[in-house]
Amino acid sequence: MSELRTGIAGGGGQAVAGPAPSNAPAQYRQPVLSARHISKSFGDIQVLFGIDFDVLPGEVHALIGENGAGKSTLMKILSGYHQPTSGKLHLDAQEVILPPDGQAEDLGVVLIHQEFNLAEQLSVEENIFLGRELRRGWFIDHSAMRRQTEELLAHLNVDMAPDATVASLSVSQKQFVEIARALSRKARVLIMDEPTAVLTPDETSAFFEQIRLMRERGVGVVLISHKLDEVKELANRVTVLRDGHQIITTDADELTEDDMARHMVGRDLSDMFPPKNEPDFDAPLVLEVDGLSVGTALRDVSFNLRKGEILGFAGLIGSGRSALFEAIIGLRQRTGGITRLNGETVEMTALDQARDRGIAYLTKDRKGQGLLLNDGLKVNLTLFALRQFSNKGLIDDTLEDAALERAIRRFDIRVRDRSVPVGALSGGNQQKLLLGKVLEIDPNILIVDEPTRGIDVGTKQQIYNFIAALAAEGKSIVLISSEMPEIIGMSHRVAVMRSGRLTGILQGEEIEEHEIMRYATGLKSQGTADATGGTNTHADHVA
């Protein structure tokens, strides 16, 4: 293993990071936090089996694996939220029982959850110093808190007002508040769960720079991510978990991205995307949208969708992709435009109207809008199609049980106990359940928004196969995604949006990353976006 040396000086001294020479003092090679032979059971179900894991000062140690592999459980043990069933934790080589409920932060072990842990009605600065407010005598020192907040945000290169309420922030801004709060706590070990899932490319680059700075200061970083390119770029070491077992821990330089994926799922993933069937541009039009507008958020958007087609929607975060389809299915009030289904003009003002017309929408926010996390699998699966499971006003449990059995087999939902609340499932199994839920109505049009966000590579491949199979059956798919490989790998055509406008619709050899980014950033647009799949006339311009 390539060692790192670091000196953590008292009173805020700077650390030095770099390859440790063979004669380096022992404390420079000593883990700041380590787990030895950690096992964890919940009742009769064992989820971790004898894991050894440590974090050196000044390194990024990536923890990867499929959903349900045990990453979240290990992460919570390392930060004190769970206690191991067996095994020991050491902090600075001393055996320790970490205090629960975030109190381990006082020892320098800070966890940034995948779900934000922010007080929505408080300001940015109040959230950063919540529970550890700065004081001047008996009074809270608001000016000092404001000054330090401004310094933290400037350090992160984030344009955000310290007095802004968290509720008014975008998802990516909230992520930076979490990061700023962790930095303010002078973390010695920083554990991050999917930290870039909601960040734009520019925000991700700024975030990477902060990780490198923290590494130089001697902070040990545990990075949990399904983005293997980020793991390859940032990590010094990688540990792979599979089904609660430690598969490998090694230098990141020893692994390619394909190696990581193979260790995660136990099989080769060279064919991530299923083969595309040839698009039929003579197939009937199932959806036509002409001149749709929503105030200043969406302006004059026109496109169409054919039977059996996968139409990808690309664009940077905030480009209006989700807002467009929320307006089409009645979740946003439109201010202009016409929608036609199978040639008939319709106006949908509520989601149930879209459902009754054969349109299903898989939200990108599965935990906030898609699923009832405190309820069971059966309740969640049948909720969208509840009328199909009622008999004279009463829910037919037999029908619901049969539907759940079919969905578990069809979508490979892995659950040991079907009575557990959905919130206890891994993210990948939640996503497969959500897909099963929206497909219970047997829709003709399926809109999937960020279908693989926060999902491991093995589950991604499964979801891609599900989507391709639906298209082969004649279903029409709208795929909204921020992940360029899946847009390119899955779509027959790609519509690109920027600032609430449709800038182009690409097909064939045009569907490649650089061309899509030209349209997404405004460097290029189509004089007339041909939504029928014919040859387009391109007009280049500088935005």
Q: How wide is the angle at C-alpha 317 spanned by C-alphas 316 and 320, nearest 5°? A: 90
Grouping H, G, I as helix, E, B as strand and the rest as coil, residue 123 is strand
Short-list 477, 464, 402, CA closest to 438 = 477
In this prediction, what percent of the chain has a pLDDT beyond 90? 52
Question: Could you count the other beta carbons within 10 Å of the beta carbon of residue 123?
Answer: 19
Confidence (pLDDT) at 48: 94
Residue 468 in this model has a pLDDT that exceeds 50? yes
Beta bridge partners, 514, equal none
| pLDDT class of 4 with cuts at 50, 70, 90 | very low
Short-list 538, 541, 499, 539, CA closest to 520 = 499
Confidence (pLDDT) at 536: 41
Kindly give the interhelix angle for 142-155 and 171-184, rounded to the nearest 10 degrees.
110
| pLDDT class of 527 with cuts at 50, 70, 90 | low
Beta bridge partners, 539, equal 525
Residue 200 in this model has a pLDDT that exceeds 80? no
| 416-423 average pLDDT score | 87
| Cα dist from 139 to 2, 133, 185, 252, 409, whole Å | 49, 10, 21, 49, 60
User: What is the C-alpha separation between 180 and 125, in angstroms, rounded?
Assistant: 10
Confidence (pLDDT) at 266: 78
| pLDDT class of 171 with cuts at 50, 70, 90 | confident
User: Lowest-confidence range among 88-92, 117-121, 238-242, 388-392?
Assistant: 388-392
Regarding predicted confidence, which is higher, 543 or 112? 112
Residue 325: in which H helix or E strand, if any? helix 321-328
| 35-41 average pLDDT score | 95
C-beta of residue 208 within 8 angstroms of C-beta of residue 233: yes
Using the structure block, give the residue that is written with the tokens 């609430």.
Answer: 500
Residue 259 in this model has a pLDDT that exceeds 80? yes
Confidence (pLDDT) at 207: 80
| 457-462 average pLDDT score | 87
Summary mean pLDDT of the chain: 85
User: Lowest-confidence range among 7-11, 93-97, 299-303?
Assistant: 7-11
Confidence (pLDDT) at 356: 94
Regarding predicted confidence, which is higher, 280 or 465? 465
| 326-355 average pLDDT score | 94
C-beta of residue 411 within 8 angstroms of C-beta of residue 435: yes
Backbone angles phi, psi at 193, to 5 degrees: -105, 110
Residue 197 in this model has a pLDDT that exceeds 80? no
| 23-42 average pLDDT score | 75
Tell me 27's DSSP state.
Answer: G
| 122-142 average pLDDT score | 89
Residue 424 in this model has a pLDDT that exceeds 90? no
| 454-474 average pLDDT score | 90
C-beta of residue 219 within 8 angstroms of C-beta of residue 189: yes
C-beta of residue 166 within 8 angstroms of C-beta of residue 118: yes
Hey, which CATH number is domain 1-6+30-108+219-270, 3.10.129.10, 3.40.50.300, 1.10.10.410, 3.40.50.2000? Answer: 3.40.50.300
Residue 329 in this model has a pLDDT that exceeds 90? yes
Kindly give the interhelix angle for 427-439 and 457-472, rounded to the nearest 10 degrees.
10
User: What is the C-alpha separation between 201 and 520, in angstroms, rounded?
Assistant: 12
Domain with CATH 3.40.50.300 in the chain: 1-6+30-108+219-270, 285-358+443-540
User: What is the C-alpha separation between 462 and 486, in angstroms, rounded?
Assistant: 13
Q: Which CATH superfamily is domain 285-358+443-540 in?
A: P-loop containing nucleotide triphosphate hydrolases (3.40.50.300)
